[in-house]
Structure 1
Amino acid sequence: MNWNAGHYLRYGNERTRAAVDLAARIRLDLPEKVVDLGCGPGNSTQVLRQRWMNSEIIGIDNSPEMIAAARKAFPDENWQLADVACWTPASAFDLVYSNAMLQWMPDHANLIPVLFGMVAPGGALAFQIPSGTYAVVRTLIHEISHKPEWTDQLEAARTMLTMESPSFYYDVLAAEASEIDIWETEYCHVMDSPNAIVDWIASTGLSPFLAALASDDQRAEFVSELKRRVYGSYETRVDGKILFDFRRTFVIAYR
């Protein structure tokens, strides 16, 4: 999947908020080695740098566009182009951190133990992903994807994201972790219009659906239908703004 760093950062403050909340709750004073898995354009990595000024921090992403944007914005950091699915570190990390990336990887029952295996004694695995309790806009995307003319070609897009329950992640980590901190937060992002909600998700969760459609006309039809439904599903507040409710799942497991 191709990533557009500029589009992603159009809502950079909102996207970075969860990264800040996750980092703030990690109870590690001076982690020597830190890795940011799925670092994107570097916004989450900078959250880690601000928290731990003297740590060795590596940002890893499989998108050349995202790594290029990170290198341009933060040239002094260590950026690596790599696919987390097949990446093997040379040594363990005091903190393995991931902000809104693991949902793009399958089979969390096997993935999470592998990532926890990268954590050094006394360290932590910390990640956040969108909650499996879908935002309204994502439910609308799935509903539209079942239109008869394109339901078959969008089957893979419907199953691309993996978002398990908090209890699932607890059970996967309980046997190895010394302590587990799990919570969910629902953010109410203030958006200028219903169209802004569609624009937000166009660079992330909507992207696989649009990429799977056969033509620009189909993509335009999909987006037009989504905008129409979003207008009917979100209320306009007294000042003309829209509250975009978005729930996220946070997990911190200590070794």
Structure 2
Amino acid sequence: MSRQAEAVWDPAQYGVYGDERARPFTELVGRLGPIEPRHVVDLGCGSGELTATLAGRWPRAVVRALDSSPEMIAAARAHAIPGRLTFDVADVTAWRPEHPVDLIVSNAVLQWVPEHLDLLPRWIDALTPGGRLAFQVPGNFDAPSHVLLRELCRSPRWRDRLAGTVREDPVLDPAGYLDRLARLGCAVDAWETTYMQVLTGDDPVLEWVKGTALRPVLSALPPGEAEEFLTAYRDRLRDAYPARPYGTVFPFRRVFVIAARHAP
């Protein structure tokens, strides 16, 4: 997570529907194929469970993981392996490697960084020849969950406090990222997937968004006003995502990119 979000992160809330949140990460890493990186960096590691799978996948690799949220890193350190897997508080926008790395992973982070397109050349330069940058970002900013959130933030009741809190269009589509990274001399694999998540429980879409897109809003409001906002948002989400006998369907579009730096 980047400090650009100006949000306080809650590892427990983020972990709600953890299996569903992990699916894009698993797809991204699975697409890397039979590589054997020795130095791996996870930029925006969150609470560390998924980063730990990288250490398990490549037992000879040294994995360094960074996140700007002290709350997330405190939770992540339960997964640390001395000498092999470390977690530190740091802003991904300021990261500079001590030496070239074989793989940079960034999972659901870059949407929080307004200047992330400017980071891509620097991150490619940080790779070894043949090294890879692998990232995924949400592509659902025109979904009802996000449109309704922006509309509520701009409403007369909240606009003086929250207008501009939730960004309109923070990421590119796969073609946009492919073009950017191919122009940097990379071989690029870019694609998208929409998961039809079936969520269970009371107001599950609200519970989902409380772990991510709502964090800047909840961080900006005192508890009483936050509850008022959540009540209004909950009513809108119930109409947009009606409960079915088998659960609530929540389409979940993701954009994936793997860029390999050409060897000289």
- SS class of match (1:237): coil
Q: CA RMSD in A?
A: 1.8
Write out per-residue CA displacement over residues 122-158 of structure 1, whole angstroms, 9 at most, x where no aligned residue.
1100000101543321111111111112213212312
User: Retained in 2: the 8 A contact 1:37–1:98?
Assistant: yes
**Partner Cα separation in structure 1 for residue 59 and residue 142 of structure 2:** 36
Shift of 1:160: 8.1
- SS class of match (1:3): coil
Deviates more, 1:6-15 or 1:44-53: 44-53
User: Retained in 2: the 8 A contact 1:128–1:249?
Assistant: yes
Shift of 1:201: 0.9
Counterpart selection for 2:184 from 176, 180, 183: 176
- SS class of match (2:196): strand
Counterpart selection for 1:232 from 239, 246, 250: 239
Change (3 A) 1:238 1:149: closer
Change (3 A) 1:75 1:156: farther
User: Retained in 1: the 8 A contact 2:80–2:87?
Assistant: no
The 5-angstrom pairing of residues 97-246 of structure 1 reads 97-131=105-139, 133-159=141-167, 162-193=170-201, 195-213=203-221, 215-239=222-246, 241-246=247-252
Corresponding position: 1:16 with 2:19? no
**Partner Cα separation in structure 2 for residue 2 and residue 32 of structure 1:** 33
Show the counterpart of 1:25: 31
TM-score (norm 1): 0.92
Deviates more, 1:78-87 or 1:185-194: 185-194
**Partner Cα separation in structure 2 for residue 28 and residue 152 of structure 1:** 52
Counterpart selection for 1:46 from 47, 52, 63: 52
**Partner Cα separation in structure 2 for residue 61 and residue 133 of structure 1:** 23
Q: In structure 2, what residue type is equivalent to 1:46?
A: A
Gaps of 5+ in 1: none
Shift of 1:108: 2.9
Gaps of 5+ in 2: 1-6
**Partner Cα separation in structure 1 for residue 12 and residue 19 of structure 2:** 13
User: Retained in 2: the 8 A contact 1:132–1:165?
Assistant: no
Give % identity. Answer: 38
User: Retained in 2: the 8 A contact 1:194–1:230?
Assistant: no
- SS class of match (2:78): helix
Shift of 1:168: 2.0
**Partner Cα separation in structure 2 for residue 178 and residue 192 of structure 1:** 41
Shift of 1:182: 0.5
Give the 4+ runs in structure 1 shifted more than 3 A: 73-76
**Partner Cα separation in structure 2 for residue 230 and residue 131 of structure 1:** 18
Write out per-residue CA displacement over residues 187-222 of structure 1, whole angstroms, 9 at most, x where no aligned residue.
122211461210111121011122223x33321121
Write out per-residue CA displacement over residues 154-200 of structure 1, whole angstroms, 9 at most, x where no aligned residue.
12312287222222212211122331000111112221146121011
